[in-house]
């Protein structure tokens, strides 16, 4: 018996690695700082290992991850670029951090003392960055406590502080506060003794890079814009979307007037309607809350509206005014023709949430 070929994917996310590299170049053209590529949450849903391997070829200073599990996945790929943990660590995670020489951010004296103990027990020195809470409220030392904290931590023989950073909570929403945040961070860095030992000073995320300037920073932490989405709608930076979420039409049917579509009968046809059922749903990460907000998808050269509620495995589109569609036709749910920002807006969400929410059953297909 001959082998049966595998069926094509029902839904998939095309990841354009050329666009990824293009976006990194656009970031570097915008700002001369070194780059920490933020690849947390599986590189914003794009695939941690492949994205990191692609970017490493272009000389990244750090990869920024959210936790030890992500750092471990990167390490297993053979990545040589330093790995930076963007958030605080649990006590039980810290020995692994020390063993693999990943760079932690320090949020408390107790955390620093524990890393010092672990480093000395292994006969090594841990490089770390100090985190400053300039308004995020999530972790780090208050600016008023930083001088004292830095003095205490520098006295610990198992630690070497090589950087300092903070995070912007509302650079895409509150310009006045963010300007104050940049000013206070810069003033703090300029006041620190032995400042020349802090080779990596970082504050700007994507919105920070696009809308603000610092006097002291040497390292940028782009996330969203690396994947081709600007957090500032008015930005003119020439970035391209990296992910295109796609599926196929499974079934096409003609429904009479007065026929409900999907759960709850929130949509009822008012005319003879050609309905295409598409093989993707909220089980794949397409947001259910778009129902009632008239989201659109792209098929055979034009946009068509979705009908009724998004279900777990399927959505329905109105093909009445788009003749010529057939089962198996490709459908774009977001990408170069339907911006993910549009999908997020209609879902009452943010593009970060949409991208990172694409589930594992959606196959990632990488293109150059």
CA distance 125 to 115: 9
Strand, helix or coil at 119?
helix
Q: Would you call 313 exposed, middle or buried from its count of C-beta atoms within 10 A (0-12, 13-18, 19+)?
A: middle
Catalytic residue among 25, 40, 227, 282: 40
Q: C-alpha distances in angstroms, 62 versus 106, 181, 275, 303? A: 17, 24, 48, 40
Residue 248 main-chain phi, psi, to 5 deg: -135, 155
Cβ-contact 359, 11 below 8 angstroms = no
40 is catalytic: yes
Phi and psi torsions of 352, nearest 5°: -55, -45
Q: How far is CA 290 from CA 81, 209, 253, 331, 349, in A?
A: 39, 31, 23, 17, 9
Tell me if residue 160 is catalytic: no
Q: Which residues contact 4 (CB under 8 A, 6 or more apart)?
A: none
Q: Which residues pair with 252 in a beta bridge?
A: 276
Q: Which residues in 245-273 are b (16+ Cβ under 10 Å) and which e?
A: bbbbbbeeeebeeebebbeeeebebeeeb
How far is it, in rounded angstroms, from Cα 214 to Cα 31? 11
- Ramachandran area for residue 232 (φ above 0: left; ψ -120 to 50: alpha; else beta): beta
140 three-state secondary structure: coil
Q: Give the CB-side neighbour count of residue 353, counting CA atoms within 13 A.
A: 15
**137, two tokens:** 């409220």
Catalytic member of 160, 263, 282, 366: 263
Q: Looking at the annotation, which residues are catalytic?
A: 40, 263
């Amino acid at each position: 018996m001959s082998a049966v070929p595998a069926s094509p994917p029902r839904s998939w996310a095309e990841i354009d690695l050329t666009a990824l590299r293009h976006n990194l170049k656009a970031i570097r053209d915008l700002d001369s700082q070194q780059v920490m590529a933020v690849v947390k949450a599986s590189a914003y849903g794009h695939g941690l290992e492949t994205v990191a391997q692609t970017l490493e070829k272009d000389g990244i200073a750090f990869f920024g991850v959210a936790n030890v599990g992500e750092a471990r996945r990167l390490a297993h790929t053979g990545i040589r670029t330093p790995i930076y943990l963007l958030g605080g660590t649990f006590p039980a995670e810290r020995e692994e951090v020390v063993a693999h020489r990943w760079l932690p951010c320090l949020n408390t004296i107790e955390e620093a003392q524990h890393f010092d103990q672990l480093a000395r027990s292994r006969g090594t020195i841990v490089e770390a960055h100090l985190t400053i809470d300039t308004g995020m409220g999530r972790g780090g030392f208050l600016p008023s406590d930083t001088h004292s904290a830095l003095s205490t931590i520098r006295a610990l023989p198992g630690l070497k502080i090589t950087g300092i950073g903070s995070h912007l909570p509302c650079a895409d929403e509150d310009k006045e506060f963010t300007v104050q945040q940049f000013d206070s961070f810069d003033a703090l860095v300029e006041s620190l003794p032995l400042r020349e030992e802090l080779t990596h000073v970082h504050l700007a995320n994507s919105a920070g890079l696009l809308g603000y300037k610092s006097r002291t920073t040497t390292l940028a932490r782009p996330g969203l814009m690396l994947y081709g989405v600007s957090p500032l709608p008015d930005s003119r930076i020439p970035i391209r979307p990296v992910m295109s979420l796609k599926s196929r039409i499974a079934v096409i049917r003609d429904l009479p007037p007065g026929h409900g579509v999907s759960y709850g009968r929130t949509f009822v046809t008012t005319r003879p309607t050609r309905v295409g059922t598409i093989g993707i749903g909220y089980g794949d990460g397409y947001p259910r809350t778009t129902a009632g907000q008239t989201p659109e998808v792209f098929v055979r050269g034009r946009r068509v509206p979705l009908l009724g509620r998004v279900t777990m495995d399927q959505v329905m589109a109105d093909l009445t005014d788009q003749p010529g569609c057939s089962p198996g036709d490709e459908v774009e749910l977001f990408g170069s023709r339907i911006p993910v920002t549009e999908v997020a807006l209609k879902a009452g969400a943010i593009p970060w949430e949409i991208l990172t929410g694409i589930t594992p059953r959606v196959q990632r297909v990488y293109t150059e």
